[in-house]
Structure 1
């Protein structure tokens, strides 16, 4: 069933959220994340994460309007999601900007455990890694059932809650299938090259705009993310620089198993299925079924 994002309204928290500390706790390409306090009502204050756009994106009026539309679109997509393995969105607070623009800041639950990327080196048990992988897959399966494409899956976009459970975050590159109310296009591919599906950087049918992420490209990225979760080593660990990555991925190369010997042969086969040609990759439900059949007790 299709739905109209233009009709989705998010909670306005203007005047109820303040940032704390003197530096961001996380950074992305276009925004920084700060710790903050949400004053929900007298006597009820909550620690939150506040996503704040980089100032340079707001220095030009045209760019500012485009960026504001983009982050509000992210807020609307995120506000429709409710799952234990997806970070919980709370609302938007606005700041006055240049030319009378109201600059939105996205407010979400604060996760003390920080990102999975930051924690991987400290996780020594294979069972714990498999459990986190299962939780990551569960969150992605929920998104795909909701027809939401994440578009930038990687360990840095997975947070850990207070119980050390994995939760997906950062929906800045997400899109919704069968949704109306907005358009999405980019001149060049966006995402993180080391985790990006080959068809996004080397499309079969080149066009003026870059190809959009799909369920199948999410599966490719899920496989690369899973590889790093299980091994603690980033994909294509022997490749340095964007040019080398683009060249080898465009040629159809996948990571070298000899660099990831912590990954068993069966699980390696599951991951390599994610890196098959576009249209031949398994659904996320199949990946979950493999884990449940071969490693019971992860749920």
Structure 2
């Protein structure tokens, strides 16, 4: 069946979209789900924050998604231009001369991501599904590299799942043409001065060199760490201290090999994983070569896929039902975005129900870090909190917040100050939050 498509350069407008719902947010902006009236199904729309001019990276991402279009890459339907009703009355905004927002219109993945699946199941995935996911990600990445493109941020949050838990590569915000295929004059400024974008737990040791320019071996290393996550169902490196993790990675340390299971293809996938995360980029296999291993292992376990998918669907529904029952009669839970750059992953969590007296400083810092997107959306008494923080917030930052038009923008600016101020400032912010917004903690 042919899928709908747009005419070139013809963005979708507000007249064709309805039932907008925010499903995730990050440093770049927000992702919404909306129903396309004519197509009759939901789409995902990635928008930059209000007041932010469309950046070249958004359109580079669109170009990458178009060039990398295949079964294992998230489908891009086109672009959007308009006034999202969730941001205020579109008519008033248009009359007020506010510029229209622009964004990308993509396929909506109801199953979420690999990360959200890990969070729901709390256990390693069934082996046939492990084999299929490992192969599908390798297929998508090989296709990307064959088009002289890179992903740049491969991790569980950026591997989305369709209704039958097939993998779709997503979030190409850090994608680029391979360095060998791009002239220096075309590189963004951050590439000329050194590259440290992405998620540090999935980045190779050479990427932490200030003079590093990304090449395909970067993605292959990330795939090795991703394979570890798929095999174990966990996040690598429980330590959340970037400096310690980076030092360990540069020293050759990797996550411990998952506990061996007696399944066809286990040794082959573990060996591939270890080859991919080799300290020496030249020793890492190309995705084209990796496909020989992943395809063979998947073929050995293909017959178990229907039963594995059925079991995961039951567990998935059970986890969702359990969460609904646990929150019945309570305040609506946060929709929490798993934090890192442009990723589009989300999960449902209740606010931490611990009084301020019982919260240690590390617990307060953890709360402030984990619930960043939710607090940015919900805190309204930003300047009052800033006053309580006193000299912990620099005068320039305070003036910038005071000049901001909305609480949302003020909170984004305040979080920048919290990040630069360290754990002491974050703990003080938590105390101020508990005093002025007790309902949020």
TM-score, normalised via structure 2 length: 0.56
Partner of 1:227: 228
Query: CA–CA distance in 1 between the matches of 2:16 and 2:227?
Result: 35
- Which whole-Å deviations, capped at 9, do the CAs of 1:212-244 have from their partners, x for residues lacking one? 33210000001111110111011223x332121
Is residue 40 of structure 2 the alignment partner of residue 45 of structure 1?
A: yes
Query: CA–CA distance in 2 between the matches of 1:297 and 1:86?
Result: 24
TM alignment of 1:56-75, pairs within 5 A = 58=51, 64-65=52-53, 67-75=54-62
Partner of 1:6: none
Is residue 174 of structure 2 the alignment partner of residue 170 of structure 1?
A: no
Q: 1:190 to 1:18 in 2, by over 3 A?
A: same
- Superposed displacement of residue 251, structure 1: 1.8
Query: CA–CA distance in 1 between the matches of 2:45 and 2:276?
Result: 33
Q: Secondary structure at the match of 2:105?
A: strand
TM-score, normalised via structure 1 length: 0.80
- Which whole-Å deviations, capped at 9, do the CAs of 1:81-128 have from their partners, x for residues lacking one? 321110000111124799975532111011111111111353641111
Partner of 2:370: none
Is residue 283 of structure 2 the alignment partner of residue 248 of structure 1?
A: no
Superposition CA RMSD, Å: 2.6
Partner of 2:214: 213
Partner of 1:3: none
Q: Secondary structure at the match of 1:25?
A: strand
Question: Does the Cα contact within 8 Å between 2:81 and 2:103 map onto a contact in 1?
Answer: yes
Partner of 2:26: 28
Q: 1:133 to 1:102 in 2, by over 3 A?
A: same
- Superposed displacement of residue 76, structure 1: 1.9
Q: 1:26 to 1:100 in 2, by over 3 A?
A: closer
Partner of 2:202: 195
Question: Does the Cα contact within 8 Å between 2:207 and 2:214 map onto a contact in 1?
Answer: yes
Q: 1:126 to 1:93 in 2, by over 3 A?
A: same
Question: Does the Cα contact within 8 Å between 1:227 and 1:271 map onto a contact in 2?
Answer: yes
Query: CA–CA distance in 2 between the matches of 1:140 and 1:298?
Result: 21
- Superposed displacement of residue 256, structure 1: 2.1
Question: Does the Cα contact within 8 Å between 2:67 and 2:147 map onto a contact in 1?
Answer: no
Greater helix proportion:
2
- 2:287 equivalent among 281, 284, 287: 284
Question: Does the Cα contact within 8 Å between 1:223 and 1:274 map onto a contact in 2?
Answer: yes
Q: Secondary structure at the match of 1:156?
A: helix
Q: 1:88 to 1:244 in 2, by over 3 A?
A: same
In structure 2, stretches of 5+ residues that fail to align are: 1-7, 84-92, 303-441
- Which whole-Å deviations, capped at 9, do the CAs of 1:22-75 have from their partners, x for residues lacking one? 5x2123332321111224x4xx333100112234xx3xxxxx44x522212211
Query: CA–CA distance in 2 between the matches of 1:240 and 1:161?
Result: 30
Partner of 2:187: 183
Q: How many equivalent pairs are there?
A: 270
Partner of 2:274: 272
- Superposed displacement of residue 252, structure 1: 2.1
Q: 1:130 to 1:16 in 2, by over 3 A?
A: farther
Q: 1:110 to 1:278 in 2, by over 3 A?
A: same
Is residue 89 of structure 2 the alignment partner of residue 94 of structure 1?
A: no
Q: Secondary structure at the match of 2:14?
A: coil
In structure 1, stretches of 5+ residues that fail to align are: 1-8, 59-63
Partner of 1:5: none
Q: Secondary structure at the match of 1:129?
A: helix
Query: CA–CA distance in 2 between the matches of 1:255 and 1:293?
Result: 25
Question: Does the Cα contact within 8 Å between 1:36 and 1:49 map onto a contact in 2?
Answer: yes
Query: CA–CA distance in 2 between the matches of 1:254 and 1:272?
Result: 9
Q: 1:184 to 1:266 in 2, by over 3 A?
A: same
- Which whole-Å deviations, capped at 9, do the CAs of 1:135-177 have from their partners, x for residues lacking one? 1111111111111100000010011112221100111000023
Query: CA–CA distance in 2 between the matches of 1:101 and 1:279?
Result: 48
